[in-house]
Chains A and B, each alone.
Chain A
Amino acid sequence: QQQVRQSPQSLTVWEGETAILNCSYEDSTFDYFPWYHQFPGESPALLIAIRPVSNKKEDGRFTIFFNKREKKFSLHIADSQPGDSATYFCAASEWGGGSNYKLTFGKGTLLTVTP
Chain B
Amino acid sequence: EAAVTQSPRNKVTVTGGNVTLSCRQTNSHNYMYWYRQDTGHGLRLIHYSYGAGNLQIGDVPDGYKATRTTQEDFFLLLELASPSQTSLYFCASSDAGQNTEVFFGKGTRLTVV
In the complex, which residues of chain B have a beta carbon less than 8 angstroms from the beta carbon of A89? 42-43
Which DSSP category, helix, strand, loop or mixed, fits chain A's interface? loop
- Which residues on B are within 8 Å of A, measured CB to CB? 31, 33, 35, 40-45, 48, 50, 54, 56, 58-59, 90, 94-102, 104-107
Residue pairs across A and B with CB atoms within 8 Å: the count is 61
Which of A56-64, A70-78, A104-112 lines the interface with chain B? Answer: A104-112
Q: Is A99 in contact with B90, judged by CB distance below 8 angstroms?
A: no
- Interface bracket on A: 20 to 34
Most chain-B CB neighbours within 10 Å: which of A34, A49, A93, A103? A103
Q: Say whether B90 contacts A101, CB under 8 Å.
A: no
A43-B90, A44-B43, A44-B90 given; A103·B102 CB < 8 A: yes
